[in-house]
Structure 1
Amino acid sequence: MTISRPEADGVTIRRAERADVLAVVRIESASFPQPWPADAFEAFLGEPGFLVAVDPENRVVGYAIADVTPTHGGLLGHLKDIAVHPERRGNGVATALLGRVFTLMYTSGADSLKLEVRESNEPAIELYRSAGFEPLRRVDGYYADGEDAIVMLHDLDG
């Protein structure tokens, strides 16, 4: 288990463990209209890019999942999922998780980090813009309910 220094809002960011999955699933369900199932999170256990933010009582208050994919020109980081418990939003937890993801992806050799976000998720889009992501393109009907996604990209070298 890797523990790091406390971040924003008194949270610590570490790699996810099996015992964290139920809390992650609950946050996912409270955050998204089409949440990932528990087995999707279990598949990422042991991966360095499955991170949780825990409070001083070791309760999971947020999480992020990211990985690195080879591309024709190098390595691309992909932020697959990130969420913070609704009661803990607005206190820097997501920003702290993003910062850790940036570092992890950069040290893994990625030149940039991409993500997809629902076009209607304005708070997330604003968070990503403030963290240095730029909109790249729209993907029509990306989500199962037909909503479009905005693909955003963050240059990790700059």
Structure 2
Amino acid sequence: MSVDVAIRQVERADLLAVVRIERACFSDPWPHDAFERLLDEPAFLVAVRDGAVVGYIVADRTPNHGRDIGHIKDLAVHPDARGEGIGRTLLRSGLARLRATGVAVVRLEVRESNDPARSLYADEGFEPIRRVGGYYRDGEDALVLIVDLAEWADGDAAETS
């Protein structure tokens, strides 16, 4: 599937579009200042098509005794642009960026009921490690998923060869 978007590092000027997508996608959206605080993260990326931001990923890294851990905090694609592979492209770009900064393992939380996201993450090698009861404001549980980036990169290389 060919995706007609450019992936690049977020810029301050993109934040309004990011917040608008956040509000369109989530029942409990992050405020503008939450994104502003993450501007310098190495894997805060946007997908741009025809000059407009259509999706984003926000991930950070935490040093951990030489085995840095990445955390995907947020990933969203505008509802009008879903089903085109943009989320997968953002996820892969974010994982590659984290790996390039020395991250070994990446984790994330996903709503238990979010089947499309869970399917995407499973396709990319994420595995559930635990459930967190009542994680979301509405009381829904989250699943914590992890992926080993060395294994992910090996799988990705095998897929493209």
Could you tell me the TM-score, scaled by structure 1's length? 0.91
Q: Look up the match of 1:14.
A: 8
Distance (whole Å) between structure 1 residues aligned to residue 88 and residue 145 of structure 2: 16
Once residues 131 and 66 of structure 2 are traced to their aligned partners in structure 1, the CA distance between those partners, rounded to angstroms, is 22
**1:100 has 2:93 as partner:** yes
Alignment of 1:3-152 (within 5 A): 8-55=2-49, 57-72=50-65, 74-152=67-145
Any stretches of 5+ residues in structure 1 without a counterpart? 1-6
Instruction: Report the Cα offset of residue 51 of structure 1.
Output: 0.5
Please give the alpha-carbon distance, in whole angstroms, between the structure 2 residues aligned to 1:39 and 1:32: 16
What are the ranges of 5 or more consecutive residues in structure 2 without an aligned counterpart? 152-161
3-state SS, counterpart of residue 84 of structure 2: coil
Name the amino acid aligned to 1:83: A
Q: How many residues align?
A: 151
User: How far has the Cα of 1:71 moved from its partner?
Assistant: 2.6
Deviations 1:71-118, CA, capped at 9 Å, x for gaps: 356211110000000111111101111111111111111111100001
Indicate if the aligned counterparts of 1:8 and 1:93 stay in contact, CA closer than 8 A.
Answer: no
Amino acid across the alignment from 1:76: I
CA contact (8 A) 2:42 2:98 kept: no
Higher percent of residues as helix: 2
Which SS does the other structure have where 2:38 is aligned? coil
Amino acid at match of 1:88: A
Pairwise CA distance, 1:9: 2.4
Any runs of at least 4 consecutive aligned residues in structure 1 with deviations exceeding 6 A, and if so which?
A: none
2:117 aligned partner, one-letter code: A
Q: Contact (CA 8 Å) 1:53, 1:63: kept in 2 or not? A: yes
| Contact 1:50-1:63 at 8 Å conserved across structures | yes
Q: Distance in 2 between matches of 1:72 and 1:145?
A: 36
Q: Normalised by the size of structure 2, how large is the TM-score?
A: 0.89
Give CA-to-partner distance per residue, 1:16-38, whole Å, 9 cap, x none: 11111111011111111100011
Same amino acid, percent of matched pairs: 56
